[in-house]
Amino acid sequence: MKTVSENRCFGGTQGVYSHQSEATGCDMTFGLFLPEEAEAGPVPLLWYLSGLTCTHENAMVKAGAQAWAAQQGIALVFPDTSPRGEGVADDGAYDLGQGAGFYVNATETPWAPHFQMWDYITGDLPRVLFNNFALDEERQAITGHSMGGHGALTIAMALPDRFRSASAFAPIANPTVSDWGRKQLGAYLGADEMTWRRHDATIQMHERGFDGPILIDQGADDQFLDKLMPEALAAAMMARRQPGQFRMQKGYDHSYFFVASFMEDHVSFHAEALYS
């Protein structure tokens, strides 16, 4: 692991690190905020998965999460959204290829050699984090925005014993029937739509739900509502009687201004679960 940078931040440290990933077969970069409490021993960890076109840096500098995490004594990890670098497949569109890994393990050409983002987020990166930093593996929570909200919810429901709580900002809620989803799932996973189902938060909510609490915030003026399909996930949560909240926020769009506006709520929500 290589230290790219470390800066003092709200009494703790905001670091950026790179490492060789076995899952993706290339160097990966992530941001990690450690609160001051990490100097004395392991602290809880909140994962933040970012959306289309983002790197590890977008949420790290725009979401305003460190201030609230520092108050709660919680670490934050900001992974990249895809493999990158020479020899890694890409596409001319913003919503496929580098910057758009969709948190799946690709099986199709040319994506399969590197686009193993599910294994990276659930396997490779956790090993790096817990082997190198003062983090409590027994106290984890997960959140994300847009494509990252999709990833956070599907990963949380697949690994309920790992995460105590899950939340999302404007998640891609029903990708198997959405323009943001069918293109990517078809490209990465192939034509068999049965293999797509485990990566659809609405389907997984109907089929298994989540053992802990869930918080969803969606901007009512989001310019991508037709692609996000929040009503499908809200209905699934109601049908499942899933413990949690689904909040439509009047006047808010899809931007990081929206994310930053409700970040304090999400960090506090996860802190309650992590310290319970």
Rounded to an integer, the average pLDDT of 33-50 is 98
pLDDT confidence of residue 239: 97
Beta bridge partners of residue 246, listed in sequence order? 216
Q: For residue 238, give the CATH number of its domain.
A: 3.40.50.1820
Q: Whole-structure pTM over 0.95, yes or no?
A: yes
pLDDT confidence of residue 102: 98
Res. 71 pLDDT band, cuts 50 70 90: very high
Name the residues annotated as catalytic: 146, 222, 254
Res. 48 pLDDT band, cuts 50 70 90: very high
Give pLDDT tens digits for 80-98.
999 999 999 999 999 999 9
Tokens of 273: 């679960």
Rounded to an integer, the average pLDDT of 148-161 is 98
Give pLDDT tens digits for 205-244.
999 999 999 999 999 999 999 999 999 999 999 999 999 9
Residue 135 one-letter amino acid: L
Rounded to an integer, the average pLDDT of 146-151 is 98
Res. 195 pLDDT band, cuts 50 70 90: very high
Rounded to an integer, the average pLDDT of 7-19 is 98
% the chain with pLDDT above 90: 100
* Domain containing residue 157: 2-274
What integer best gives the mean pLDDT of the chain?
A: 98
Number of domains within the chain: 1
